[in-house]
Structure 1
């Protein structure tokens, strides 16, 4: 089962048809994705379920519905076990951004964390879950596919928010601060935390 977020409401890819309580079922093969996005944005629906036959092909079929933007990002831990967060668009988020040219997704993730936060000396420890969300740019919807990595650093320098990307704050947060920040974050970031 996969979740693709439209703001904080999920489109759930599944093979099971369930009774519609707070959500709607559609067939993935015939869905009008524009209509689904509009419904999630403009109604009290909590989610939409897109039904397909083959679990292994659900995501592949869904990703063909809209242009994809491939991105990489990091959940970065410092020596004290704190996690690096950015504050953008009045929400707490993890640093991430889209690939450039032919760079690998790992290179993208490290470059974007460095650019958005000023943190250097990053080492990738392990891949994390890939997240999906739909956004609108220049009047067209797209799916952002973000590949996340657990990273570590010994960096102790000054944090430097990338203001031209709308980042107003960068901070190392401990567990209690993360719990508070998650009340003002995105659903796909909560999956990673």
Structure 2
């Protein structure tokens, strides 16, 4: 098993066994490997990822759940749901927020299913009401600081169907300043101005197309 976590413009992989891609990364001098799990190793990995010469961390332990739990305990976990919405022309709905191109998503409310959260947040952020929930696409992870809190956001992404005939209304109170349908041939341009986790979602969608 394996998960990918974006943290401060670096990438950390947690896994029980490196795949071929990670084995290749291990040959790079900017990659750090930790393969022991104890009370100090999680802090050691986080410290290594603050070094300017390090770009990638690989944390390996045969008990993946134990490794994941040990790492996640260092953070406040926030779960979120979002959608990659396609219209009749297979254009992707993208929003512009705080200087980056993004996909609609938001935090899970208490007692809410992650599917209901994803649909609600996409509707609220885009103004779309005619949405059809499709298959799960990907779960992304990224960390950030909020005051003195260390946050790890776990975002569950779903494929969705919408219609280009509906009026798009960006949710300005969520700092969304632009919204529009993007043709697949234009996606590469938008990825250059998107968060790394959003690039992962777009790449996952491209692999299913």
TM-score, normalisation: structure 1: 0.88
Q: Which runs of 5+ in 1 are unaligned?
A: none
Give the 3 Å change call, closer, same or farther, for CA 165–35 of structure 1 in structure 2: farther
Equivalent pairs counted in the alignment come to 193
SS at match of 2:90: coil
Aligned-residue offset at 1:57: 4.4
Q: Distance in 2 between matches of 1:154 and 1:143?
A: 33
Q: Distance in 2 between matches of 1:182 and 1:65?
A: 30
Counterpart of 2:205? Answer: none
Where does structure 1 differ by over 6 angstroms across 4 or more consecutive aligned residues? none
RMSD between superposed Cα atoms in Å: 2.2
Q: Distance in 1 between matches of 2:82 and 2:56?
A: 26
Q: Distance in 2 between matches of 1:86 and 1:78?
A: 15
Query: Given that residues 94 and 181 in structure 2 are in contact (C-alpha distance below 8 angstroms), is that contact kept between their aligned partners in structure 1?
Result: yes
Q: Which runs of 5+ in 2 are unaligned?
A: 19-25, 203-209
Give the 3 Å change call, closer, same or farther, for CA 43–19 of structure 1 in structure 2: same
Query: Given that residues 77 and 153 in structure 2 are in contact (C-alpha distance below 8 angstroms), is that contact kept between their aligned partners in structure 1?
Result: yes
1:9 aligns with 2:14: no
**What is the correspondence of 1:1-193 to structure 2 with a 5 Å cutoff?**
1-15=2-16, 18=26, 21-26=29-34, 27-31=36-40, 36-37=45-46, 39-41=48-50, 43-55=52-64, 57-193=66-202
* 1:109-137 deviation digits (Å, cap 9, x = unpaired): 01111111111111111011111010111
Q: Distance in 1 between matches of 2:50 and 2:188?
A: 27
Q: Distance in 2 between matches of 1:20 and 1:177?
A: 32
Query: Given that residues 6 and 37 in structure 1 are in contact (C-alpha distance below 8 angstroms), is that contact kept between their aligned partners in structure 2?
Result: no
Give the 3 Å change call, closer, same or farther, for CA 37–92 of structure 1 in structure 2: farther
- 25-34 or 154-163, larger mean C-alpha shift: 25-34
Aligned-residue offset at 1:62: 2.6
Query: Given that residues 28 and 62 in structure 1 are in contact (C-alpha distance below 8 angstroms), is that contact kept between their aligned partners in structure 2?
Result: no
SS at match of 1:179: helix
Give the 3 Å change call, closer, same or farther, for CA 86–28 of structure 1 in structure 2: farther
Query: Given that residues 159 and 171 in structure 1 are in contact (C-alpha distance below 8 angstroms), is that contact kept between their aligned partners in structure 2?
Result: yes
Give the 3 Å change call, closer, same or farther, for CA 42–170 of structure 1 in structure 2: farther
Give the 3 Å change call, closer, same or farther, for CA 121–40 of structure 1 in structure 2: same
Give the 3 Å change call, closer, same or farther, for CA 20–99 of structure 1 in structure 2: same
- 162-171 or 49-58, larger mean C-alpha shift: 49-58
